[in-house]
Amino acid sequence: MARVDSLIAWIPRRFRSTTREQWDVEYTCGEWDYLRSVGELARYSVIAGYCRHHKRQGSICDVGCGEGILERALRPTYRRYLGIDVSEAAIRRARDSERPASASFECADALVFDTAEHFDVIVFNESLYYFPQPNAVLHRYEKYLNSEGVFVVSNVIRRRSRAARLGIRIAWVALDHTYLRNAAGARWEVAMLGRPDRSGCTH
């Protein structure tokens, strides 16, 4: 993987650094309420579809889960769902909603989060490009995947997500990807990613 990592080092870094307090203010003020709108429905549906296709009744970890919108889109087709988010306000909203006993939410910083669990799918739904080193985050979470586990990653197509979108293409195998555009003109790339082979090549 040394060659891949050296290539990734040359990708321009553009990310939004947001504090826990800022996230809490934004969720409390309703700045993220639009995620429940019909304009976001297709993206959530594709993410949920990839999760179901990979393993119905599988175990899912949602990194940057916000208030748990994806968890509701996945019901009742998972065995276990764990959502983590740095925002206490978002996690409170997620916990306040009715949810199955097989779903749980934790307030945690994704860069230091640790668990003994392993998952069939780990989702980064519009969260990967918020990290200064997106690909390093995927490498960190690889240890929480089951042997045949996959990542499902959604990235809005904008300059700020460029490093994340390029990085995953270099270092991971795209099992499938699709592009979406809603009526307002927002565009996304949603991909299901497998591990690179152990020789260090990605294709």
**How high is the pLDDT of residue 180?**
97
Q: What's the CATH code of the domain at 123?
A: 3.40.50.150
To 10 degrees, what angle do helices 134-142 and 162-171 make?
Answer: 40
**How high is the pLDDT of residue 17?**
61
Report the domain count for the chain. Answer: 1
61-88 as b/e: b if 16+ CB within 10 A: bbbbbbbbbbbbbbeeebebbbbbbbbe
In a domain, 114, yes or no: yes
In a domain, 200, yes or no: no
What is the maximum span of the chain, computed from C-alpha positions, in angstroms? 49
SS3 of the chain: CHHHHHHHCCCCCCCCCCCHHHHHHHHHCCCCHHHHCHHHHHHHHHHHHHHHHHCCCEEEEEECCCCCHHHHHHCCCEEEEEEEECCHHHHHHHHHCCCCCCEEEEECCCCCCCCCCCEEEEEEECCHHHCCCHHHHHHHHHCCEEEEEEEEEEEECCHHHHHHHHHHHHHCEEEEEEEEECCCCCEEEEEEEECCCCCCCCC
pTM score: 0.87
Return per-residue pLDDT of the chain as tens, 203 residues: 443 443 333 333 334 567 888 888 888 998 999 999 999 999 999 999 999 999 999 999 999 999 999 999 999 999 999 999 999 999 999 999 889 999 999 999 999 999 999 999 999 999 999 999 999 999 999 999 999 999 999 999 999 999 999 988 888 999 999 999 999 999 999 999 998 764 344 44
Between CA 8 and CA 61 the distance in angstroms is: 25
**How high is the pLDDT of residue 199?**
39
In a domain, 132, yes or no: yes
Confirm if 65 and 84 have CB atoms less than 8 A apart: yes
Residue 174 is part of which domain span?
2-194
Instruction: Count other Cβ atoms within 10 Å, centred on residue 156.
Output: 16
In a domain, 102, yes or no: yes
Confirm if 86 and 108 have CB atoms less than 8 A apart: yes
**How high is the pLDDT of residue 197?**
67
In a domain, 201, yes or no: no
Between CA 100 and CA 106 the distance in angstroms is: 15
